[in-house]
Structure 1
Amino acid sequence: MEGEEGSSATPNVKKRIFKRICVFCGSRAGYKSTFGDAALELGKLLVKRKINLVYGGGSVGLMGLISQTVFNGGCHVLGVIPKALLPHEISGETMGEVKEVADMHQRKAEMAKHADAFIAIPGGYGTMEELLEVITWSQLGIHDKPVGLLNVDGYYNSLLALFDKGVEEGFIEDSARHIVIIANTADELIKKMEVHKKNEHEPVHDKVAPGQSWEVNQLLESNVGSSKI
């Protein structure tokens, strides 16, 4: 798809701000149909905008819904999954390319390395942990990629209230509170993230160590330039 960037026959591809977005989401579907609807909506929007998907590699729950939607829509899907989780998160045919890794740490590093931005939709502990890690990495200056939160039916209201409490009690800088880009619909969220990316020369928060050479940063950036996804 890289060779199509300048083709007049593919104007939507040319306008892409994000080539690949990493989506954190649950390996379960949840009890509300709105969670599945949101995964499908986001998947269809990625296809419409010719954005490839990076995700946790599962074939069940919201992971399965979004990966199947993006793959069936003709975009590339990269799933990254630790070998130990293969029996738990894969119970059927997986979509696209699946990369097996040794552990959870390598999984997150690989997903981050191949993504231009991150979006979290409803999920459990794993989803929240992945979200919090990329927020922390942004705060530290390890990456400058947009971090979006699709707050379906107010699922993340309590977590956002905890962030506000952290600011109130002096544990989170007020500027760092704005690292997370929040919206209730996929379309609104992608548009907000695109604006954020266009204005990245105007940082919304002070990085802890913006000039340092982070080992993780080197890992994130390695081989990204050679990727043809």
Structure 2
Amino acid sequence: MKINRVSVFCGARLGNSNQFKEDAYRLGEILAKEEVELIYGGGGLGLMGATADGALDAGGDVTGIIPTVLVDKEMAHPRVKNMKVVDTMSIRKDMLIDEADAIIVLPGGAGTMEEFFQVFVSGQIGFQQKPIALVNTDGYYDSLFELFETFIENDFLERRFLDLIMKVDSVDDVINQLKSYRPVEGRTREDIESGHRD
């Protein structure tokens, strides 16, 4: 599939590993090289700032989407010219999802997971399916996939929906992985009533 714009979900903090920052910056560079526009949460700190810096330093197109409350706290990236300021975090999240062809998730915390799960759940019900790549820096998301197995074992998730997600160990592979995405048929009433497990 053709990918022109990618939304990146990631932490507003750097985390405790230099590899997190290196991967974030490298991802920005890769998006610029591939002529893929970066859409992200507009922050100038943490992995958000590192991703934007990588894209900007490589001459890429960057769009930030940030709520007013964070602008007021001086958290907006000063070098991002195309900055969309919105009223709420919910509006920001919806725009990050709606305006992108694909989603890349770097390490992050609760906010990153909230954004990821909205896309993942939308794909399960067939409302809006977009390829999702989780960049598994230093095994960061291994425990998340263990949780998915618990969901599956207890019949709260069909295994086929894991095909909505690509766990990518190297940030250099992420664009090719996204391009290979194939949609998954959304959940039906029969799926729920039957308690069917793939």
Q: Is the structural similarity TM-score above 0.5?
A: yes
For the 8 Å contact 1:71–1:96, the answer to whether it is kept is no
Aligned residue among 187, 191, 205 for 2:172: 187
Residue in 2 aligned with 1:48? 33
For the 8 Å contact 1:148–1:193, the answer to whether it is kept is yes
CA drift at 1:130? 0.5
CA drift at 1:17? 2.3
Query: Which of 80-89 and 20-29 deviates more?
Result: 80-89
What runs of 5+ residues in structure 2 fail to find an aligned partner?
Answer: 189-198
2:118 is aligned with 1:133: yes
Between the aligned partners of 1:177 and 1:165, the Cα distance in structure 2 is 13
Q: How does 1:5-16 map to 2 (within 5 A)?
A: none
* Deviation per residue, 1:27-51 (Å, 9 max, x gap): 1111110000110111111111111
State the TM-score, normalizing by the size of structure 2: 0.89
Corresponding letter in the other structure for 2:109: G
CA drift at 1:79? 0.6
Q: 1:92 to 1:192 in 2, by over 3 A?
A: closer
CA drift at 1:94? 3.9
Percent identity between the aligned chains? Answer: 36
For the 8 Å contact 1:182–1:189, the answer to whether it is kept is no
Residues matched between the structures, number: 188
Query: Which of 181-190 and 161-170 deviates more?
Result: 181-190
What runs of 5+ residues in structure 1 fail to find an aligned partner?
Answer: 1-15, 210-229
Between the aligned partners of 1:163 and 1:89, the Cα distance in structure 2 is 37
CA drift at 1:189? 2.2
CA drift at 1:72? 2.3
Aligned residue among 76, 80, 83 for 2:61: 76
Residue in 2 aligned with 1:102? 87
For the 8 Å contact 2:105–2:135, the answer to whether it is kept is yes
For the 8 Å contact 2:43–2:77, the answer to whether it is kept is no
For the 8 Å contact 1:78–1:97, the answer to whether it is kept is yes
Q: 1:182 to 1:44 in 2, by over 3 A?
A: same
Runs of 4+ in 1 over 4 A off after TM superposition: none
Residue in 1 aligned with 2:195? none
2:51 is aligned with 1:66: yes
Q: 1:151 to 1:115 in 2, by over 3 A?
A: same
Between the aligned partners of 1:139 and 1:118, the Cα distance in structure 2 is 15
Aligned residue among 139, 151, 160 for 2:145: 160
For 2:180, what is the secondary structure of its paired residue?
helix
Residue in 2 aligned with 1:213? none
For 1:136, what is the secondary structure of its paired residue?
helix
Between the aligned partners of 2:74 and 2:11, the Cα distance in structure 1 is 10
Corresponding letter in the other structure for 2:42: G
Between the aligned partners of 1:89 and 1:191, the Cα distance in structure 2 is 35
For 1:38, what is the secondary structure of its paired residue?
helix
State the TM-score, normalizing by the size of structure 1: 0.77
Give the alignment's Cα RMSD to 1 decimal.
1.6
Q: How does 1:166-185 map to 2 (within 5 A)?
A: 166-185=151-170
